[in-house]
Amino acid sequence: MMRILLVILGSAALASATTANAAPEYVGVKVCTKCHEVQGESWATTAHAKTFEALKPGTKADEKKKAKLDPDKDYTKDKDCVGCHSTGFGQAGGYAAGTAPGGEKQLGSVGCESCHGPGGGYRDQHSKAEKKLKASSEATPRKALVAMGQNFDYDKACAACHLNFKGSPHKGAKAPFTPFTPDVDAKYRFEFDKAVRTKALHEHYKLKGVFTGDPVPAVRADFQKTAKEIPE
């Protein structure tokens, strides 16, 4: 009897350890926009929402020629390209080469999770934390979100795509590199402090303070000062 109990306890512990260690999955844009509709509508108008277009033959011909790419080639299945033009390429729940880029998850774009991290772990936590705030006026530590895979280091997220080329200031740069470097054209120089303040991400809306404490993103206070009210 004791032995059976130990086996059961042992496998339960193993199962929970596996769940805790598994990398969270990418869930796609629609899961996030169910609750964050306003950011979703704004994001949908940005270049990040349409990053697969640039890989199709015949688009951006002049830019491609300048970067020594073939404007007539179809790059939509090219592993050297899709990583930075999609969400979660090659990772659990993320974009898989050769699959349709659209659909509900909209993985053929630089979606919410490219910057905020794969949502499989933290998506439920957001609504739970909101209910807790309503019920007991208690905010939830932001740290709990980091443990579940949410990213607040935006600088690093942008660098993985925008500064991934040989000789870039980004230390972690590794192949495949972006063909569009400052050497090709000065306009491709990426400065985080400037770029993060453009309309390329999405409009910002006022937060109610459901989450609290570190890590507070460095840009948060600035953005919240001018953030819009979410319409009722």
Site for ligand HEC in 26-55 (CB under 6 A): 27, 29, 31-36, 39-40, 43, 47-48, 51, 53-55
With binding defined as CB under 6 A, does residue 126 bind ligand HEC?
yes
Q: Does 115 bind ligand HEC (CB under 6 A)?
A: yes
Residues contacting ligand HEC: total by CB under 6 A? 71
Which CB sits closer to ligand HEC, 12 or 61? 61
> Closest distance between ligand HEC and the C-beta of residue 18, in Å?
22
Examine residue 148 and tell whether it contacts ligand HEC (CB under 6 A). no
What is the residue-wise DSSP string for 204-224? -B-----EESSPPPTTHHHHH
Q: Does 218 bind ligand HEC (CB under 6 A)?
A: no
* DSSP class of 119: T
**What's the rounded Cα separation, in Å, for the pair 166 and 179?**
10
Distance of CA 207 to the CA centre of its chain: 19
Residue pointed to by tokens 């996030």: 32
Q: How far is the CB of 99 from ligand HEC (least distance, A)?
A: 17
Taking CB under 6 A as the criterion, which residues in 167-206 touch ligand HEC? 176-180, 188, 195-196, 198, 200-202, 204-205
- Residue 177's Cβ-count burial label (10 Å; 0-12, 13-18, 19+) is middle
Residue 97 as a binder of ligand HEC (CB under 6 A): the answer is: no
Cα gap 102→120, rounded to integer Å: 19
